[in-house]
Structure 1
Amino acid sequence: MNETGSRLMAGKTVLITGGAGGIGRATAISLAKMGAHVAITGRDPVRLQNAAREIRAAGGGQVDSFVADMTSQAEIRHLAGEIRQNIPRLDVLVNNVGGYWNTRHLSADGLERTFALNYLAPFLLTNLLLDRLKSSAPARVVTVASNVQSGGRIDFDDLQGERHYSGARAYSQSKIADVLFSYELARKLLGSGVTANALHPGVVSTSFGAEDPGTVQRLFLPLMRPFMKTPQKGAATSIYVATAPELEKVTGCYFSNSKARKSSQQSYDNAAARLLWQLSAKLVGLESLQ
């Protein structure tokens, strides 16, 4: 669904993680223009408030903002509590937040940061908000993955990159994990009225990876920028999957350029998806979800 000024999302509430900049902010602006009540998260309060003002000005509707560092499970739990307290219905959750680090960093929980932010954060937040999504059904969970999932591999013996770390490998592993999660979530939610889909936004020109860039970011990104998508174009598939009426009952799919595509062969490994879910539930303290 393109940005047309349509009020397609009037009366609906959408939560977008990482909505203070880049693809997340562009997604929020478009959904606000469609009439949605938009809620965004970000870790920098000033940047978050500036984004909220911009989204409010573009759409003219209600915009809520929540400060949260999504690498911290405590902050994700606090965020979920704030959402439950302040947002009575949740029609769409867009798991958009993500990051890339060339060297190995640990989160506040002692977990490898790429895995914690790109994968465990959406896993935990989605599960904490499932009751709200189910009570708002028909509802959607939209998870922003990446086509690097095609080369990703879940290393169950070294999920945290303790023995061997590569920024690129950690990133691709987190993105295949996002797709496996989406498919397993779709299976678990069958009949609930809540769908779960993943997507590739395209190669987008943002500040992604700027905190700890690798060789590709330092040397090649400046040359590639003229050929990369703008955040607005990068948000198009997220907007489509979040809003398209024809997708109301479509679940367990992977989208690129606003079309359903095949994801990598490993992403359809149901046994791997179940094992990843079980390990993830333990890592975030939700063992009852197994």
Structure 2
Amino acid sequence: MPVLLVIPARYASTRYPGKPLVELTGATGEARSLIRRSWDAGMSVSGIDRVVVATDDDRIRSAAEAFGAEVVMTSSDCVNGTERCAEVAAKLGDAYEIVVNLQGDAPLTPAWFVEDLVAGLRADGAAEVATPVLRCDADALNGFQEDRENGRVGGTTATFDVNGRALYFSKEVIPYTGRRFEEGELCPVFHHVGVYAYRRDTLLKYPDWPMRDLERWEGLEQLRFMEHGHAVKCVEVEGRGQKFWELNNPVDVARLEGIFKAQGIA
């Protein structure tokens, strides 16, 4: 069951234009662009047959090709990363049965998140799309709450049933807890990690489904599957002591660089 990993990257981000080309400094003092760090994360995953960057912007293409990435140009009409992945899957033919979407703003995604995700999709024959969820520690949950209190849109949280089927995803913190948590407490909130594994046949149908209200209001592409009656499998992954954070806003640059330095990531 061959696997294609796609890293969607667009320049015209509403919240952070030019985000893929933002330079992030690691523990050794070396600065690498966000798209380079995302590529490095994708290349570290085992069991992947091919890794490509998908973009509609020549600046991103040039930057990616300069460090050796394979780039597939896609339409500027793609409204999200899943549509961009669908276009890549159609262009590259039917050689790949599973397509992974490693979004280009999550360079701290550990390889085992993606490996566990692909294994989870393979193990559940009824699942058409799967995505990882990570139980928040107190620091991560308090960071989400701080973002919301200051009017920033931070990470996404997820709720799911006893079979791992998603109930809802939101940029608000769900479920509501009403308080801050202390270090070492078991938090009831799960951070949705922005990675997806799709069965190719389902992915190719996605662009033809109209966007509905939940996806439009939340700005979360995975809700389109749910609004059209397709279950999303949540695969719980373990942090193993590694901090995870995405680059959503300019303030996150310092957060990511702090994690790189604390964890010795070059």
Normalised by the length of structure 2, the TM-score is 0.37
- Which of 1 and 2 has higher RCO (CA within 8 Å, sep 6+)? 2
Hey, which of these two has a bigger chunk of helix by percent? Answer: 1
Hey, which of these two has a bigger chunk of strand by percent? Answer: 2
